[in-house]
């Protein structure tokens, strides 16, 4: 079912105590909960909703620099320290209920020691998984745990997509090895285009997250920093798998093209041989078809058979010359 968005554009809201116990928040509760320091508050908004934009713009707990990031349309991947918190733009896949999406989008977020404010334009796959995780019990009320869980869900989502690309490449490879070299250019082109989009999506995100590790806020202590590093490294490891998929798709595309070229050259060779064999016969039939006086065997009862014998001899001579020239 689709997200229900209220007057303030709130997609979902949760209050999570130190033990990880979760309470869902209604729109009437967000003004009170966002100022609370007794529990972690996660508020997730619809970027396109005017009510959400107005609430974010007037919220005193969100720094002005973070408001600019949350409300902007800029989709460049980045995450940076803002005051005592973090804000940035992280990539994700669209969430589609019926099929696996291949469309990329971004999540805008602001995180400090007590609250996580996130904004999306369309439903996101990793956010849906994070909502289920929170609903089932987070077992930890620290804010950075939400970000770590989100990064792991992004990794899982992108990993599923890369695995589907691997399966597609395997199918094309099996078909090419079976001698079916035609009809795969479009699929290999789709795989390479999607791989390129994912690569442009993942590389700047990985750089931004790695740069963040060197300037974490003081409230992210050693164990939490280690968990965040592990989540970032797991996400970065997908880049190697994606490179392998792109390289295999490129090689298969080249192999399919080479096989098609070989088949074309083979057909042209056969056509050239047939042309070379029948060209002398065509010349002979053309000469005898001029119907002019003086043509040999014109009055003979066996003239037709003489012509057939002449053409047969010409074919044999042609074959002999082709074999002598090592063309056959």
Domain match, 72 and 212 both: yes
Is residue 22 a part of any domain in this protein? yes
Same domain, 239 and 109: yes
pTM over 0.85: no
Residue 60 backbone dihedrals phi, psi, to 5 degrees: -75, -20
Are the beta carbons of 46 and 5 closer than 8 angstroms? Answer: yes
Do 18 and 53 lie in one domain? The reply is: yes
Q: Is 237 helix (H, G, I), strand (E, B) or coil?
A: helix
Tell me the CA distances in angstroms from 235 to 123, 184, 191, 228, one per residue in order: 21, 30, 20, 11
Q: 2 in a domain, yes or no?
A: no
Residue 202 lies in a domain: yes
Contact 203, 239 (CB under 8 A): yes
Whether 37 is in a domain gets the answer yes
Domain end point (choices 230, 258, 286): 258
Within-domain flag for 204? yes
Shared domain for 104 and 243, answered yes or no, is yes
Q: What is the CATH number of the domain that holds 91?
A: 3.30.460.20
Residue 263 covered by a domain: no
**Cα–Cα distances in angstroms (integers) from residue 300 to residues 290, 296, 303, in the given order:** 17, 9, 5
Q: Are 228 and 274 in a shared domain? A: no
CB burial of 41-65 (b: ≥16 within 10 Å; e: otherwise) equals: bbbbbbbebebbbebbeebeebbee
Range of the domain at 302: 268-324
Are 254 and 273 in a shared domain? no
Query: Are residues 298 and 246 part of one domain?
Result: no
What are the phi and psi torsion angles at 37 (to 5°)? -115, 10
φ/ψ (deg, to 5) at 25 = -110, 140
47, 69 contact by CB (below 8 A): no
Residue 5 lies in a domain: no
Q: Are both 51 and 134 inside the same structural domain?
A: yes
The C-alpha atoms of residue 139 and residue 133 are separated, in whole angstroms, by 10
How many Cβ atoms are within 10 Å of 324's Cβ, its own excluded?
A: 9
Domain final residue pick, 258, 289, 307: 258
- Kindly state whether residues 188 and 288 are assigned to the same domain: no
pLDDT tens digits, the chain, 328 residues: what are they? 345 455 678 888 888 877 767 888 888 888 888 888 778 889 999 988 899 999 999 998 999 999 999 998 888 888 888 888 889 898 888 776 545 567 888 899 998 888 899 999 888 888 888 888 888 777 666 778 888 888 888 888 888 889 989 998 998 888 888 877 676 778 888 888 888 888 888 888 888 888 888 778 877 878 888 888 888 888 888 888 888 998 988 888 888 888 888 888 888 888 888 888 888 888 888 877 777 777 787 777 777 787 888 888 888 888 888 788 777 7
Asked if residue 1 belongs to a domain, the reply is: no
Neighbours of 288 (CB within 10 A): 18
User: Tokens 């065997």 identify what position?
Assistant: 297
The answer to whether residues 114 and 146 belong to one domain is yes
CA 261 to CA 242: how far, in whole Å?
29
**Domain final position from 202, 229, 258:** 258
Q: Are 75 and 90 in contact (CB under 8 A)?
A: no
Give φ, ψ of 178 to 5 degrees.
-80, 0
Q: What is the CATH number of the domain that holds 278?
A: 1.20.58
> In this structure, are 231 and 297 located in the same domain?
no
Apex 14 CA angle, 120 and 82, nearest 5: 60
Q: Contact at 8 Å (CB) between 112 and 171?
A: no
The answer to whether residues 51 and 108 belong to one domain is: yes
User: Domain count of the chain?
Assistant: 2
């Amino acid at each position: 079912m689709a997200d229900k968005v209220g007057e303030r554009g709130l997609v979902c809201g949760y209050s999570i105590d130190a033990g990880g116990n979760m309470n869902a928040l209604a729109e009437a509760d967000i003004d009170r909960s966002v100022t609370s320091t007794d529990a972690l508050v996660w508020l997730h908004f619809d970027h396109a909703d005017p009510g959400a934009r107005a609430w974010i713009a007037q919220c005193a707990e969100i720094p002005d620099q973070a408001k600019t990031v949350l409300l902007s349309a800029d989709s460049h991947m980045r995450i940076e320290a803002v005051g005592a918190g973090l804000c940035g733009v992280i990539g994700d896949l669209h969430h589609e209920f019926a099929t696996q999406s291949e469309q990329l989008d971004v999540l805008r977020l602001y995180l400090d020691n007590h609250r996580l404010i996130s904004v999306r334009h369309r439903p996101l796959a990793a956010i849906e998984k994070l909502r289920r995780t929170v609903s089932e019990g987070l077992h930890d009320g620290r804010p950075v745990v939400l970000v770590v869980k989100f990064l792991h869900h992004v990794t899982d989502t992108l990993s599923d997509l890369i695995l589907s690309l691997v399966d597609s490449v395997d199918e094309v490879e099996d078909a090419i090895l079976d001698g079916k070299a035609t009809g795969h250019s479009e699929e290999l082109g789709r795989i390479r285009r999607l791989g390129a989009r994912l690569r442009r999506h993942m590389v700047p995100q990985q750089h931004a997250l790695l740069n963040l590790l060197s300037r974490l806020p003081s409230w992210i202590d050693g164990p939490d920093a280690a968990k965040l590093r592990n989540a970032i490294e797991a996400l970065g490891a997908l880049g190697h798998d994606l490179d392998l998929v792109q390289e295999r798709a490129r090689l298969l595309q080249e192999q399919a093209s080479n096989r098609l070229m070989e088949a074309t050259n083979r057909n042209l060779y056969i056509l050239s041989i047939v042309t070379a064999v029948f060209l002398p016969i065509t010349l002979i039939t053309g000469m005898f078809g001029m119907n002019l006086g003086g043509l040999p065997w014109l009055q003979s009862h066996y003239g037709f058979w003489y012509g057939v014998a002449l053409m047969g001899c010409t074919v044999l001579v042609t074959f002999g010359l082709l074999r002598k020239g090592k063309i056959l």
